[in-house]
Amino acid sequence: MSNRINRRQFLKYSSLGMAAATFPTFLFANTSQKIKNAPNPNFKADVEIEFSAKPASVNILNRGEKTQVQKFYARVLKGDPNSVLTLKDNYLGPILNLKQGQKVRVFFDNQLGETSIIHWHGMHVPQHSDGHPMYAIASGQRYVYEFEVLNSAGTNFYHSHTHGETGRQVYNGLSGMIRVSDAQEQVLDLPRNEYDLPLVIQDRTFDQKNQLVYVQRMPERMFGFLGETILVNGKPDVEFSVKSRAYRFRALNGSNSRIYKLAWDDGSPITVIGTDGGLLEKPETRPYIMFSPAERLDLWLDFSDQKIGTSRQLVSLPYDGVMSMMYQRMGRKMSANLTQGSKFTIARFKVTQKVSDSPKLPSQLIPIKRFTESMVNNTDNPLPIALSMGRMQARINGRSFAMYKATKMEQVELGSYKKIKIFHDHSGRMGSMMAMAHPIHLHGQQYQILSRTYKGNDHAAYNTVKDGFIDSGWKDTVLVMPNEEVEIIKPFHDYKGLFLYHCHNLEHEDLGMMRQFYVG
């Protein structure tokens, strides 16, 4: 029944069925996909950063042999020397500290010995600086990015975006955090400096010789690759020594496909002050928070009432329903040690010093101008993002990624706001058997979530996740559970060109679960 409704909606909204034949896809050959390797003399950069990516060996496990990785390096050529913060002895790329309004130029030197390109996930930048895979450069080449920071204060994510290789390259180390600050944020009494820390959560599998294992057999490509060791900020078994005060932890799920259900082991609630695109209007406190690949969460972790010596664990709690039973059974065979939805510790926080200078949780943060249906020009005709899985296929609106193509339906007028409806297309041969949770990411401007509706009937499973979605803030990645339908409003302002949207389960992305809008 629900399958048929979805199918009908799908046809109505996408006008795909017949339309595929009627409207040929538009070919954007020569739409400026020329590699940009010279700076624009008219772009007066405030900050210039030289990035490189190369093979390296890093001490990740703190025992035995070092691990071979692919790693980003960066140094400031011009401007604020604090724009780059290198993490010592780490396989993560340096943290970029940018300010709203800054003009940034990045030179990217690829020294990997293979093709690559960097994408600034969450940043609203022009097509030529967005790291679209059409711009991937060969080893030995240089790419020049130029953009102004239009984003509000928040936490973003840079990573390689090489088509078909994103999963492997990110897994091997090609990612890092971007922090954007702005004047509005500065006014708030938020934890700063040593009390404002990254919390990059990743899962990796190591072999006997401490080397990273990444396999791309059928099950991993269909479900996503799950690692058996949890790394926080590039290290296993992490314990933070904290003072008895409040901290701001910028959590970034840098995993390829693992979804975390973040909670405190002692059952106390957890407080969020920001999501992907910036600070919330006011803090939200939840028993747990669902955290899917590429999402960011600004966490307010307060240890003020903790005694010295207490240790608390941030854990991932068990949950159900992100995969159908069939998948779960197959998945269990694939990665017996740490399945999706099992319980494990992420990091420990030990209170080692008593202090009395803690800021108080603000009751109001940053005002958010709400997008409403009256701003969009397609209220009754939302753009569909219909997700489907088949045997070795992962598609959007029935199609796989094509480098220079967007359909008629994927053309969006510059300056518009669009209502977009993300749902599961169960019309395929395997139907809902194949439905699984997908973290859906759209490049370009941050969007707002209008609604999230569960249409399934496995309420027992859904109840294990349903209180964990923070939908009130700026988003660029949203977890869409099986049988869920999520409506968003997204602005398409400032820049023309091709802007990707895809599943951020990186194995799904590499399998082709990616399309693009042509904004023009």
The binding site for ligand C2O (CB under 6 A) comprises: 119, 121, 157, 159, 161, 294, 441, 443, 500, 502, 504
Q: Which residue has the tokens 């799950």?
A: 226
- By C-beta, is 231 or 294 nearer to ligand C2O? 294
Q: Which does 503 bind (CB under 5 to 8 A by kind): Cu ion, ligand C2O, none?
A: Cu ion
Residue 458's nearest CA partner among 288, 327, 261, 322 is 322
Q: How far is the CB of 270 from Cu ion (least distance, A)?
A: 26
**Residue ranges of E strands in 182-334:** 196-204, 229-232, 235-236, 239-243, 246-253, 260-264, 270-275, 278-286, 289-291, 296-302, 311-316
Q: Which does 438 bind (CB under 5 to 8 A by kind): ligand C2O, Cu ion, none?
A: Cu ion
Q: How far is the CB of 347 from ligand C2O (least distance, A)?
A: 23
* Residue in the shown chain whose Cβ atom is closest to Cu ion: 503
What's the rounded Cα separation, in Å, for the pair 254 and 317?
18
Q: Which two tokens stand for residue 265?
A: 């082991």
What's the rounded Cα separation, in Å, for the pair 225 and 204?
9
- By C-beta, is 324 or 445 nearer to ligand C2O? 445
Residue 108's nearest CA partner among 154, 158, 148 is 158
- By C-beta, is 115 or 483 nearer to ligand C2O? 115
Q: Which does 294 bind (CB under 5 to 8 A by kind): Cu ion, ligand C2O, none?
A: ligand C2O
- By C-beta, is 279 or 294 nearer to ligand C2O? 294
42-46: long-range contacts, CB 8 A cutoff, minimum separation 24: 43/103, 43/105, 43/146, 44/103, 45/78, 45/79, 45/103, 45/104, 45/105, 45/146, 46/79, 46/80, 46/102, 46/103, 46/104
Size of the site for Cu ion (CB under 5 A): 6
Q: Which does 312 bind (CB under 5 to 8 A by kind): Cu ion, ligand C2O, none?
A: none
Q: How far is the CB of 479 from ligand C2O (least distance, A)?
A: 14
Q: How far is the CB of 390 from Cu ion (least distance, A)?
A: 13
Residue choice 129, 335, 505, 516 for contact with Cu ion (CB under 5 A): 505
Q: Which does 245 bind (CB under 5 to 8 A by kind): Cu ion, ligand C2O, none?
A: none
What's the rounded Cα separation, in Å, for the pair 8 and 434?
19
Q: How far is the CB of 508 from Cu ion (least distance, A)?
A: 3
Q: Which does 505 bind (CB under 5 to 8 A by kind): Cu ion, ligand C2O, none?
A: Cu ion
Q: Which does 397 bind (CB under 5 to 8 A by kind): ligand C2O, Cu ion, none?
A: none
405-444 footprint of Cu ion as x/- string (CB under 5 A): ---------------------------------x----x-
Q: Which does 168 bind (CB under 5 to 8 A by kind): ligand C2O, Cu ion, none?
A: none
Which residues neighbour 326 within 8 Å (Cβ) at sequence distance 6 or greater? 433, 434
Residues in the chain: 520
- Rule CB under 5 A: say whether 244 interacts with Cu ion: no
Q: Which two tokens stand for residue 126?
A: 């022009």
- Rule CB under 5 A: say whether 508 interacts with Cu ion: yes
- Rule CB under 5 A: say whether 121 interacts with Cu ion: yes
Whether the CB-CB separation of 120 and 217 falls below 8 Å is answered with no
Classify residue 307 as exposed, middle or buried by CB count within 10 Å of its CB (0-12, 13-18, 19+): exposed
Whether the CB-CB separation of 142 and 37 falls below 8 Å is answered with yes
Rounded to whole angstroms, what are the CA distances from 369 to 377, 432, 448? 18, 37, 10
- By C-beta, is 395 or 441 nearer to ligand C2O? 441
- By C-beta, is 13 or 401 nearer to ligand C2O? 401
- By C-beta, is 119 or 515 nearer to ligand C2O? 119
- Beta strands 175-181 and 296-302, pairing class: unpaired
- Candidate ranges 50-58, 360-368, 467-475, 497-505; the one touching Cu ion (CB under 5 A): 497-505
SS3 90: coil
Q: How far is the CB of 169 from ligand C2O (least distance, A)?
A: 12
Q: How far is the CB of 151 from ligand C2O (least distance, A)?
A: 14
- By C-beta, is 349 or 447 nearer to Cu ion? 447
**What kind and span of H or E run contains 109?**
strand 103-110
* Residue in the shown chain whose Cβ atom is closest to ligand C2O: 121
- By C-beta, is 60 or 500 nearer to ligand C2O? 500
Report the amino acid identity of residue 306. Q
Q: Which residue has the tokens 């042999």?
A: 65
SS3 420: strand
| Cβ atoms within 10 Å of 18's Cβ, excluding its own | 9
- By C-beta, is 158 or 206 nearer to ligand C2O? 158
Q: Which does 159 bind (CB under 5 to 8 A by kind): Cu ion, ligand C2O, none?
A: ligand C2O
Q: How far is the CB of 175 from ligand C2O (least distance, A)?
A: 9
- By C-beta, is 125 or 366 nearer to ligand C2O? 125
Q: Which two tokens stand for residue 389?
A: 């899985």
- By C-beta, is 426 or 502 nearer to ligand C2O? 502
Q: Which does 161 bind (CB under 5 to 8 A by kind): ligand C2O, Cu ion, none?
A: ligand C2O
SS3 120: strand
List residues near Cu ion by CB under 5 A.
121, 438, 443, 503, 505, 508
